[in-house]
Chain A
Amino acid sequence: MKKINYIILGMALLGLSSCFKKDNYDGPDSGISGKIIDSYTGQPLLSSQNDWQLRIWEKSWTASTAVNQNIPIKQDGTYNNSKLFAGTYDMSVNLGPFWPIDTAKNVVFGKGGKQQDFTVTPYLQVVDFTTTVVGTNLTMTCRLKAPKRVLNGKNLPDLYDIKPYLSLTSFVGESNNINIPEYTGSKIIQIRKSWIVQYGDVDYSPVITLGPLIVKSGYTYNVRIGANVNIGSRPYNYSEIKQVIVP
């Protein structure tokens, strides 16, 4: 009886281990991180969480056509993916709100990761950003700046929207905002014209006023203004974020 038990156990062990094969492929030990730098300010580009993505294509894998992987850009203008396989990659940032730049070809991601910054020229800058609260009405103003209306023979695409963003968290922008009729629709300035037609051949727009927007007493809002041009997925250039405390 005991023998039979041993035989059964032995066979079970054999059965369980017979198909065993160790996955000996190393885990991803490379990565990519970096900043998107605004060429005007030298600082990371003012962004919103995951508005647009950096695209990478692994070129050292040749068994099939490379499919892009997307790495979201964070609110502070940085990005990071720490679990990639080492190899050569192409990198493109051209989904963002700035004049296109060349794809970075054959970037080597070695063991331990790689740091790669991109310097870009935003289509628009949102400057002189102010906020005023009177009672429960919030008014924001800003000026737009477009130092480059033509670059490499291409015109600045038409101005599209100037949009207020309000949020109750520290994340504020196109992907994180209080999306209610009071802050959208007619509260957005919808331009649909070229810079030249709208403002003339000048660097700065006049002061633009958004609002008044209804806010609630006793709340603290994080607010900013975004502006975009009619290209691609129409990503936004942002002002800095201001905190508004409604008494």
Chain B
Amino acid sequence: MQRNNLILVGMAVLVAVMLFFAARQSRSGQTAGGAPASGPLGLAGQTAPDFTLQSLDDKTVHLSDYKGKVVLVNFWATWCAPCKIEIPWFVDLQKQYGPQGLQIIGIAMDDASPKDIAKFAQDMGVNYPVLLGKESVGDAYGGVQFLPVTVYIGRDGKVINKFFGLKGRAEIEDIIKKALNQGAAAGL
């Protein structure tokens, strides 16, 4: 009987520990500046949701236009100070890895006018398409409650990872290099 009691207590503790870790796991996808996360909807490994948005130069852009490339989708806004830190890195990375098949896309989740967004992008020397964001696109990517949010998409069109908050340049570059190499190794 004593043994049975011990088993019962042990099971209860196990359930509680499992609940604790499950809770932490689900939260990790929503923490600003936290560990890399695949997003609340578990996007990693899934086909990236296609979108249709207008660019600053009034062109209609679909994600599917960049099929076969490694795509870095960066959700940002003119009022987001950490986003302003990343943008010059993205400019450099686009220059450096563009010829190898990287395409960076900025999606402005901004209330500012397209004119102000364009001025900001011009001041920052942005050399990749900047699209005017819609909440529905953010929702399709698991929600954009805060910025920046960066989604990495492989050459196969599947989401590699989704990051919340500012990451270091080296970390970003590392993911890009791996994604480019993965695609090359798979012969895509």
Query: Are A and B physically bound partners?
Result: no
